[in-house]
Structures are given as structure tokens and as C-alpha cells.
Amino acid sequence: MGKAMKIKKGDTVVIIAGKDRGKRGKVLRVVPKTGKVIVEGLNIVKKHQRPTQEAPQGGVVETPAPIDRSNVQVVCGSCRKPTRVGVKVADDGERTRICKKCGAEL
């Protein structure tokens, strides 16, 4: 693992595999070391929380779990379709991410 990730925090993504297939959400966190992303409101799991000083109630908490990067696809801002991400290198060496379907910047 540890390969460079083309998905960034704040991107809108669509899930292409698993129980939430077809749903869209915003990326909250990217974990390049494990190749996973956490998407807002998707892949929700129930976690049993022991009572603590901060949360004296405890109980069952619903929280988003990480999803493998291979199971999500970036949604282009201009064409609104799930797309692969390409990289365009400018003359000054600056890299920008582009939509493989319409060529717009992401």
C-alpha cells in the first residue's frame, strides 16, 4: 500500500461496490497508508461505546467506517458523472487533477 491517492478530502464520490452502492457523499478523511477513505454518512457501522467522562451515557453509536479506495469513484464537478482521475502537468511543473470524461479540472 502507501501508493499516492487520487482522491482528496472534500471530493464528492460515489460508492461503486458494497451495501451503499450508488450513493454519493463527501470525503471526510483519506488514509493513504491503508488506501482507505471515510465518506460522510455512508458505510455506517454501529459501535458499542463504554460510558466515559465526556459521554456518561455510553450506548450504541453510529459512525462512518473506512471504505477501500477501489470501491469509490470521484464525481466530476462539471459533468456530474463518476469518473477516473487524470493528471495534467503544466509547463511550470504544476500538477492538476482532471476528469477523464470531460477534461475539466477537479
Q: Is the full-model pTM beyond 0.85?
A: no
Q: Where are the domains of the chain?
A: 1-75, 78-106
Do the beta carbons of residue 10 and residue 75 sit within 8 Å?
A: no
Per-residue pLDDT 10s for the chain (106 aa) are 567 788 999 999 999 999 999 999 999 999 999 999 999 999 999 999 999 898 888 899 899 999 999 999 999 988 899 999 999 998 898 999 999 888 888 8
1-75, which class in CATH? mainly beta
Cell representation of residue 63: 459512525
pLDDT value at residue 56? 86
pLDDT of residue 2: 61
The C-alpha atoms of residue 44 and residue 3 are separated, in whole angstroms, by: 26
